[in-house]
Structure 1
C-alpha cells in the first residue's frame, strides 16, 4: 500500500512512512493551511505512532512553529483542544486499518481540512524545506482528555446514565480510559472488557461474526444495559444494546440528531434511508462518502443560515455537531470533526430519560436496516474498474445482480448504488483510504441486509480474487 493522501489524510505502510515523507507532508500542511501559530500533535496506540509523532513534532519545530505534544489521545479530543485554542492539529493514526500501516490526519483551527486544503497541500509537496534559525517551542498538553470528558458531563449531567451497567470493549482503542471515566461520571457502572496490549484494527462498519458473538456473550454474562467501544483513534463509535446487537452508526446518527433537536442532516449517500421518513428533520443533504464532503454540506447550510440546527454523520458512526445544542444539563458546543462520544451518549441518555431500553428506542425508528462489509487487500483501481463496468454495461449489471431483478434507480454519487423494485439497495464502492472494496446494503430486516452483503461480497470475491 503506497502512501496515499485522501479524505482521511495520509495513509500507508509504516515501512514507507519515512522521516523524509512525514516531514514533507507536515511542512506542506504548515505552508498550505492556517495554524494559529501552534500545532497540537496526538497519536493512537499502534506501535509505530509515538515515533512518527516525534517526526511530526520535529518538522513543526523546524519550521519555526510551536508544537504541543498531546500524547495518546482520541482524535476528537485532540481536535477539540486545538480548536478551542485557535490552533491546528495533526493526529498520527491509521484509524481502523492494521498495525503495519499508519497515517496523519490534519486539522486547521476551524476543524478538519477540506478538499481544497488537500489540493493545496499536495501542490506544495517535494520542496527543499528550509530550517528555521530558531526552532519552535515545545510544550506538553495536560488537560485535553479531561476537557473532552467535561464537555459531555456538563452537557448530559452526572445522573444521565444512573443505574446502568455499561460494558467497555477496551481492545486497543485510544479512548478506552476516557470511555470508562465518562460513563462513570455520568452515573453508570462501567464494566471494562478485553483490554489489549496488541493493536487490534476494529472497523465499526465491518464487525466480524466472532466479535459480534463475543459482544452478545459479554452482555449476557455481565447483565449489561449496553456495550460501547470505538475504532483505534476513537472518531467512530461502536454501540450494542443490552442483547449485544450492534446499533449501526447511521442509526446512532439519526437518534443523536433527534435527541439534539437537529433540523438539517448532512450525511453520505450510503446512510440508512430511515431518516427520509422522520418528519422532525426539515432537510436532508446527501453527499459523497467521507467527512470532508459532509463538512462541506454543513458549511453550505450554515452559510445560508448561520442559526441553522445542522449536524452531520456517517454510517461509521462519526458525528459532527454544527450548532450549539442543548443537552439535558447544559449546552454542547459545536465540534467540526467526527466524534465518538456524542453518538454514544445521546442515544443512551435519550433511552434512560424515556425509561426504556436502547433496543426499544431503536424499535421506534422507521424499519429500514443496513449492513456493510468489505474485501481487504483489493487494489483501488481494480475495484473501480469493475464498478465502472457494471455501471456502464447493462448486461454485466443484470448478471451481477441477478437475484434482485432489474434496478429501478442508479446513483453514481460515490461508486454504484442501485435501488430495486423490492426497495432493497446494494451499494458498491472502492474505499477512499485503504485497498478495499466495500459493499453496503439496505432492506426491511437486518437479516436480509446482511444476506445481501454476503451474496454480493461473494460475487465481488469471485470477480476480484
Structure 2
C-alpha cells in the first residue's frame, strides 16, 4: 500500500483537468493514474454525501482503442472504494450522464472527446450534474491510498471484468421520441455521418423513429478525431458531395463521445455550433441563455431572449451561469461554440415534457432545429439566414505549447488599457483596423471599430492555440481567422 497526492500525480503524469474532465496522453493515463483519479473523485463525493460503500456508479466509454483498458482501471477503483459498477457499454456521454442523474448516482465516461486517439480522458459526473471547478479543486487536494495492484509501468496485474452491459440507450431514445413525437421529422431525408462516433447507431435510430428516412455515411472502424469547432477540410468536402449525391435535407454527426453536434444544411454546409445553439433555443422558446464569450453575437442581436449571460469557455462555467438564470426564469439553457447544448430546466410543449439535462448533448439541438424547419416548411439554410448577419469561424495552431500562448497574451496585455489597445491595433491593424475594446474573460477577445472580432485562447486540454473570429461576412470571418493564426505563428517564430 502507498499514499499518493493527486496534485503530484497530475504534475508528474501531465494528465490534468481541462474544460471537460481529466485528459492526457494515453501512455500517461496508466491504470494507476486512472485508478487514482477515480478514487479521488469518489472520496470527494463521500465528503459531500454523494457516495458511500454500496453506492452504484455508472460507467461508459467511447470507441478509442485505449478506452476499454482505462474503463477497467476505473471499475477496479470503484470496487476498491466499495462501490458497485454499473457498466453501460460504449454509449454517448449524455446517455450515461442522463441515467446517472435520473438514478441519483455518480457516473463517469472514459473519452477524449474530439481529440486524436493518442490521448484519452475521464469525464466525471456528480449525482446532480457535471463536476464543476470547485469539485475539481477538491479532487486535486485528495490523497489516495493505493493497493498493491500495479506493476512498475502502473498497469493492473489483473484486468477486472466490467460486468454485464446495462441498456441506457433506450431511455435516451425515449427522451426525444416522447417529447417530439413519431412524426417530428417525417418526410425529411437525413444523412448520418457515422465515422467513429460512439453514438452513431443510436443517433440513426432516434431520427428514424422520429419519422425521417436515413442514409448512413462514412462509417469508420478506425478512430476519426472530428472536431465540431474546427471541421476538417475533408469533412467539408464529403458533406457537399453527400448532400448532392443523396439529395439530403441535412447531414447529422457528432464528435467522438457524441455530446457535440455537427449539422449540415441541405447544401452540405456545416452549421456553426453557436448558430445551432441560437436556433435550438429559439425552437424551444427558451427565455434565458448562458453561453461562452466566444460565441456568435447574433444571440444578443436577435432580441429573442430575456436574459443572456456570457461566461468563460467550458461547460462547468456555462452550467454555473445557467443555474443562476434558472432561478429567475421559467426556462434556461446553455450552449457552447462546439454546439453542445445544455438544458437547465424542464420544457413543456403541447402537453409533452422534456426533462432537464445539464450536460452537453448533441441530439437535442439537431432534432429541435430540424423539427422546427419541418414545421415551418423551411430549409436549414433559410433558418440560419433569418438571424442577424454575424458569422464566426474558429481554427487552431497545433503543437503550440500552452506556456508559449500564455506568455504571448501576457505581453500583449501589459500596461494601461490605452497601451493595450494601441499595441493590439499595431499588431492586428493590417487585418482588422483599429482595436476599440478587449475582453479577458477567457483568453484575449479583441473588438475592432469595424465590428470584426479576433479572440485568442490557449486550449485547456491540448498544446494548441485556438482562434475565434467574427465578422458580418462569412468569407471574411474565415479569412480573418487564417490571417490571424498566420500572424501569431510568424510572431512566435520570430521571438523564439
Displacement of 1:222: 0.5
Aligned 1:107-122 pairs, distance under 5 A: 107-122=125-140
Structure 2 alignment gaps of length 5 or more: 1-12, 149-159
CA 1:172–1:329 in structure 2 vs 1: closer, same or farther (change >3 Å)?
A: farther
Instruction: Give the deviation of 1:279 after TM superposition.
Output: 2.3
- Of 231, 251, 254 in structure 2, the residue corresponding to residue 230 of structure 1 is 254
Distance of 1:371 and 1:328 partners within structure 2: 36
Report the CA distance between 1:7 and its aligned residue.
2.2
1:370 Cα deviation from its structure 2 partner: 0.5
Q: For the structure 1 residues 345 and 328, does the alpha-carbon distance in structure 2 shift closer, same or farther, using more than 3 Å as the test?
A: farther
**Local SS of the residue matching 1:229:** strand
- State the 1:211 CA deviation: 1.6
Partner SS state of residue 64, structure 1: coil
Question: Which segment drifts farther, 333-342 or 398-407?
Answer: 398-407
Q: Is the 8 A contact 2:87 2:166 kept in 1?
A: no
The offset of 1:101, in angstroms, is 0.6
Check if 1:439 corresponds to 2:467: yes
Contact 2:251 2:263 (C-alpha < 8 Å) held by counterparts: yes
The residue matched to 1:217 in structure 2 has which SS?
helix
- Does residue 402 in structure 1 map to residue 420 in structure 2? no
Corresponding residue to 1:370 among 392, 402, 405:
392
Q: Does 1:41 align with 2:59?
A: yes
- 8 Å Cα contact 2:72/2:161 also seen in 1: no
Which of 97, 111, 125 aligns to 1:93? It is 111
Aligned positions of 1:60-459 closer than 5 A: 60-125=78-143, 127-129=144-146, 140-302=164-326, 304-305=327-328, 308-327=330-349, 330-392=352-414, 394=420, 396-403=423-430, 404-459=432-487
Q: CA deviation at 1:137?
A: 11
CA pair 35-319 structure 1, distance change in 2 beyond 3 A: farther
Checking the alignment, whether the CA contact within 8 Å between 2:259 and 2:360 is kept in structure 1 is yes
What is the TM-score of this pair, normalised by structure 1? Answer: 0.95
State how far apart, in whole Å, the 1-side matches of 2:352 and 2:163 are: 32
> In the alignment, what sits opposite 1:53?
71
1:378 touches 1:464 (CA, 8 Å); kept in 2? no
- The residue aligned with 2:28 is 16
Question: For residues 353-397 of structure 1, what are the alpha-carbon distances to aligned partners after superposition, in whole Å with 9 as ceiling and x for unaligned?
Answer: 001111111111111110001111211111111122222264642
Counterpart secondary structure, 1:402 = helix
Per the TM alignment, residue 214 of structure 1 is displaced from its structure 2 partner at its CA by 1.1
Equivalent pair of 2:439/2:446 in contact (CA under 8 Å): yes
Mapped to 2, the partners of 1:258 and 1:21 lie a distance apart of 43
Residue 329 of structure 1 and its aligned partner are, at CA, apart by 6.9
Aligned partners of 1:215, 1:138: CA distance in 2, in Å? 38
CA distance in 2, matches of 1:221, 1:382: 45
Aligned length: 459
User: TM-score, normalized by length of structure 2?
Assistant: 0.90
Superposed CA RMSD: 1.8
Task: Write the distance in 1 (CA, Å) between the matches of 2:491 and 2:57.
Answer: 45
> Structure 1 residue 400: deviation in Å?
2.2
For structure 1, the residue ranges without an aligned partner over 5 or more in a row are none
C-alpha offsets along residues 415-449 of structure 1, whole Å, 9 cap, x if unaligned? 10011111111100001111110000110111111
Using the TM superposition, give the Cα deviation of residue 463 of structure 1 relative to its aligned residue in structure 2, in angstroms.
2.9
- Structure 1 residue 259: Cα displacement: 1.0
Pairwise CA distance, 1:324: 1.2
C-alpha distance in structure 2 between counterparts of 1:186 and 1:366, whole Å: 30
Alpha-carbon distance between aligned partners in 2 of 1:8 and 1:405, rounded to the nearest angstrom: 35
Deviation at 1:8, TM superposition (A): 1.1
Are 1:165 and 1:191, in contact at CA under 8 Å, matched by a contact in 2? Answer: yes
Q: Pick closer, same or farther for the CA change 1:168–1:327 going to 2, 3 Å.
A: farther
- Indicate conservation of the 8 Å contact 1:380/1:435, yes or no: yes
Q: Tell me if the contact between 2:397 and 2:464 (Cα under 8 Å) persists in the aligned partners.
A: yes
Q: Distance in 2 between matches of 1:138 and 1:105?
A: 18
Q: Take 1:137 and 1:243, find their aligned partners in 2: how far apart are those partners?
A: 47
**SS class of match (1:296):** helix
In structure 1, how many angstroms separate the alpha carbons of the residues matched to 2:205 and 2:91?
A: 14
Deviation at 1:71, TM superposition (A): 1.0
Give the drift of 1:405: 1.9
The answer (yes or no) to whether the contact 1:276–1:284 under 8 Å persists in 2 is: yes
